[in-house]
Structure 1
């Protein structure tokens, strides 16, 4: 039974989101992050379905009424009560693979990015949703600690990741690189693993998730964050990452087509002044479109134009993520795509 990790551009049934709790980390910014998520849901529902886990029945009822008023077709939306600790679905949501022509949802262990934050409810969320019949695809638990934002794939046997995250002792202590690679090859069906040694964003809690730094756009193309400001503290590390990407080769030995994404001006938290991890690499590919985080910055337009050229035939949809980065994540971090065959049609329920 050969496994294959789906690339993000594989046809999708839905995008999954986790709605914030009123008493969670978003409590001071709840209206703002809910407005961001609402914008995302309306945008995604133009193209495909949205699965939302709500923290409680009252929130579920409120959201159903709100989205109905916004014109979201109810056959494109499913709301299920399933409590979570936080909103970062990319990291506590299921990771989908193909096995024997059908999707399987792998439920990896989530520990709040190496024990930094509470994660008991997040770690139980996929099992909870599966137990409530949210998925058509089977859910398989995994003891390995792995977050969806830590990996990216070309869908043809190559995995892109970072040493700072996957080899961090706060994840799978005692598991050496060779043993970890063997587990990833077995689970995800990958044949090659491209390890980035360099690259980070200030304000990032994830220990350098690759989805903040470099992303496959198709099997031959990688988009990456590029810093052109020599005075910026990120400059040296991102230049070193760029050199690594230039040295990577495809399975046939040819270089990748590299797409440099612009560097937004530094964003700082208005409360205490720490830098926030604004990145255009945190885009989301869906059926027929690419949602792109923007930050009210002069570089937004350049990023949108570059990604429009990179994804011909797909709509480019900007999403204001200035509120999302206040909790150190962005658009891709808030979502998890579910490939075709993962869900029953919502209209059946």
Structure 2
């Protein structure tokens, strides 16, 4: 049976989100992060469906009413009670592959980015959704520790990732590079793994997830974070990452078309002053559009222009992510796309 990891631009049934609990790390920012999530849901629902796991029945009822008042058609939304630890669906959500022409959802082990945070409910979330009939496709469990934000694919046999994450001993300590690649080749059907050995963001809890640094826009194009400020602490690492990307080749031997994304002004937590990992690489591709994170920064406009260049024919929809970045993540981190044919139709509820 041949497997293929779906690229993000593959036609989608829905985007999956995880709504925060009142007593989560978002407690002090709950109203603000809910407003951000609402903006994401409203934007996605213009193009496709949204599946949301919620912590309890009261939240489900409240959000159903709220989204109705926001004008979202009932048939665009499905809210299922399934408690979680946090909101970062990119990393605990299912990863979709194609097997013999049909979508299959892989449920990898999630440990809170190498044991940094509680994750037992996050790790059980996909099974809870599956038990309640959310997924039409089979859900297969995997022992391998892997987060969705750690991998990028062109959909044609190439996977892009970082050494700092996938080879970190806090993930799969018993596996070396060769063993990790063997798992990736078996599960995803990839023929090539492009490893970045440089690139990081201060304040990043993920150990350099690729979706904060460099992203496939199509099989020939990679958008990446570029720091032009030689005085910024990120400059050496991101400059070295840019050199690596310039050295990478497509399977046919041609260089990639590289689109640099601008570097926002340093973003700091207003309470303790630590730097936050704001990045324009954390965009989300959906049917007919790209949702782009913005940070109230002068570079926002340049980022939207760069993404419009990378995605001709798609709407570019800005989403203010200043609240999300307070907990060290952004737009892509909050979402997980689900491919066409993978979900139980919402109309059957």
Equivalent in the alignment of 1:314:
314
* 1:46-89: CA deviation from partner (whole Å, max 9, x where unpaired): 00000000000000110000000100001000000000000000
Distance in 1 of aligned mates of 2:136 and 2:236: 46
Q: Tell me, in whole angstroms, the C-alpha distance in 2 between the residues paired with 1:310 and 1:254.
A: 18
**C-alpha distance in structure 1 between counterparts of 2:328 and 2:46, whole Å:** 27
Write out per-residue CA displacement over residues 277-300 of structure 1, whole angstroms, 9 at most, x where no aligned residue.
000000000000000000000000
Quote the Cα distance in structure 1 between the aligned partners of 2:68 and 2:226.
41
Report SS of the residue matched to 1:62: helix
In structure 1, list runs of 5 or more residues that go unmatched. Answer: none
Query: 2:175 aligned with 1:161, yes or no?
Result: no
Aligned counterparts of 2:313 and 2:77: Cα–Cα separation in 1: 25
Does 1:250 find its partner at 2:250?
yes
For 2:159, what is the secondary structure of its paired residue? strand
TM-score, normalised to structure 2, is 1.00
SS of alignment partner, residue 203 of structure 1: coil
SS of the residue corresponding to residue 67 of structure 1 reads helix
C-alpha distance in 2 between matches for 1:66 and 1:97: 34
Match of 2:259 in 1: 259
- Partner of 1:276: helix, strand, or coil? coil
Q: Which residue of 2 aligns with 1:299?
A: 299
Instruction: Measure, in 2, the Cα distance between the counterparts of 1:306 and 1:186.
Output: 35
User: 1:310 Cα deviation (Å)?
Assistant: 1.1
Q: Does 1:109 align with 2:113?
A: no
Alignment of 1:83-122 (within 5 A): 83-122=83-122
Q: Partner of 1:22: helix, strand, or coil?
A: coil
Alignment of 1:146-185 (within 5 A): 146-185=146-185
**Counterparts of 1:44 and 1:103 in 2: how far apart (Å)?**
21
The question of whether the paired residues in 1 share the 8 Å contact of 2:113 and 2:206 is answered with: yes
Tell me which residue corresponds to 1:212.
Answer: 212
Q: CA deviation at 1:177?
A: 0.7
Aligned residue runs from structure 1 range 280-295, under 5 A: 280-295=280-295
Count of aligned residue pairs for this structure pair: 349
Query: SS of 1:280's equivalent?
Result: coil
| Distance across 2 between alignment mates of 1:179 and 1:310 | 34
How far, CA to CA, are the matches of 1:262 and 1:45 in structure 2?
28
Q: Which residue of 2 aligns with 1:37?
A: 37
2:133, 2:344 within 8 Å by CA — same for their partners in 1? no
The answer for the alignment partner of 1:52 in structure 2 is 52
Can you list the C-alpha shifts for 1:65-122, whole angstroms capped at 9, x where unaligned? 0000100001000000000000000000000000010000000000000000000000
Return the alpha-carbon distance in structure 1 between the equivalents of residues 171 and 124 of structure 2.
17
Shift of 1:344: 2.0
The aligned residue for residue 27 of structure 1 is 27
CA contact (8 A) 2:217 2:310 kept: yes
1:200 alignment partner in structure 2: 200
- Paired with 1:200 and 1:307, the residues of 2 have a C-alpha distance of 21
Q: Give runs of ≥4 in structure 1 deviating > 2 Å.
A: none
Per-residue CA deviations over 1:2-48 (Å, capped at 9, x if unaligned) read: 00000000000000000000000000000000000000000000000
Structure 2, unaligned runs of 5 or more: none
- Residue 275 of structure 1 aligns to a residue in which SS? coil
* Structure 1 residue 345: Cα displacement: 1.7
Whole-Å Cα distance in 2 between the matches of residues 44 and 325 of structure 1?
20
Q: Which residue of 2 aligns with 1:232?
A: 232
Distance 2:60 2:40 in 1: 17
